[in-house]
């Protein structure tokens, strides 16, 4: 286990976390964050993070978005709930559609991690084609089979990769551009 993996395990592992995540689509591109998960592995997901006790999901998502991206957002519809379980990490993740209301895009920091242990490596607005070029082992499961951003608005319900629910849902809601 390298230094980054050890830090992630100590801060976030071996406990259930409730996370909020924001899906920001602009000009047919989605804002994604590349996280450095180890010396050998990166992981792309939308901005978001763990909820703080005493703050609701909207407050938490606004805080996380600002910390990670420098952007101020409005929090709109709940898109789906996803359960991520890949030990040592276990999270229940709420995915919301968000809109930009202010701020300037810049790489932020995770206040839970030391300055020399930050894991945000890159921010990028990616097209569906750009996402498809990223290996499945380096992006969140929700984005493995994405064919259009309109498809995201059809995510409804609870997804758990172990029970194949998301794969079935995506197959049923694929938009054919014909």
Q: What CATH number corresponds to the domain at position 35?
A: 3.90.79.10
* Confidence band, pLDDT 50/70/90 cuts, at residue 89: confident
> CB atoms < 10 A from the CB of 151, how many?
16
Which domain covers residue 125, as residue numbers? 3-172
pLDDT at 175: 45
Q: Report if residue 102 sits inside a domain.
A: yes
Q: Pick 178 or 116 by higher pLDDT.
A: 116
CA dist 5 and 9 (Å) reads 6
* Confidence band, pLDDT 50/70/90 cuts, at residue 178: very low
Tokens of 54: 């005493």
pLDDT at 176: 44
Q: Report if residue 177 sits inside a domain.
A: no
Q: List, for residues 109-163, the tens digit of each pLDDT value.
A: 888 777 888 889 999 999 999 999 999 999 999 999 899 999 988 888 787 765 4
Q: List, for residues 11-66, the tens digit of each pLDDT value.
A: 666 778 899 999 999 999 999 999 988 788 899 999 999 999 999 999 999 999 99
Q: Report if residue 136 sits inside a domain.
A: yes
* Confidence band, pLDDT 50/70/90 cuts, at residue 90: confident
**With 50 as the cut, is the pLDDT of residue 80 above it?**
yes
Q: Pick 156 or 107 by higher pLDDT.
A: 107
The continuous run of DSSP H or E covering 3 comes out as helix 3-12
pTM exceeding 0.75: yes
CA dist 163 and 178 (Å) reads 31
* Confidence band, pLDDT 50/70/90 cuts, at residue 105: very high
Q: Report if residue 178 sits inside a domain.
A: no
Q: Based on the structure, what is the number of domains in the chain?
A: 1
pLDDT at 111: 83
CA dist 107 and 124 (Å) reads 10
Q: Report if residue 42 sits inside a domain.
A: yes
């Amino acid at each position: 286990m390298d230094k980054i993996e050890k830090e992630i395990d100590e801060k976030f592992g071996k406990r259930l976390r409730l996370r909020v995540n924001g899906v920001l689509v602009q000009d047919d591109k989605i804002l994604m964050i590349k996280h450095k998960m180890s010396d050998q592995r990166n992981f792309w997901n939308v901005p978001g993070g763990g909820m703080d006790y005493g703050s609701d999901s909207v407050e938490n998502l606004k805080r996380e978005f600002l910390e990670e991206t420098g952007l101020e957002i409005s929090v709109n519809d709940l898109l789906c709930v996803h359960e991520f379980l890949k030990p040592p990490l276990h999270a229940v993740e709420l995915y919301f559609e968000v809109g930009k209301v202010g701020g300037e895009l810049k790489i932020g920091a995770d206040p839970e991690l030391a300055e020399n242990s930050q894991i945000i490596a890159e921010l990028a607005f990616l097209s569906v084609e750009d996402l498809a070029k990223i290996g499945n082992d380096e992006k969140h499961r929700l984005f493995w089979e994405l064919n259009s951003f309109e498809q995201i608005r059809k995510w409804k319900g609870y997804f758990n990769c172990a029970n194949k629910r998301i794969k079935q849902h995506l197959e049923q809601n694929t938009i054919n551009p014909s």
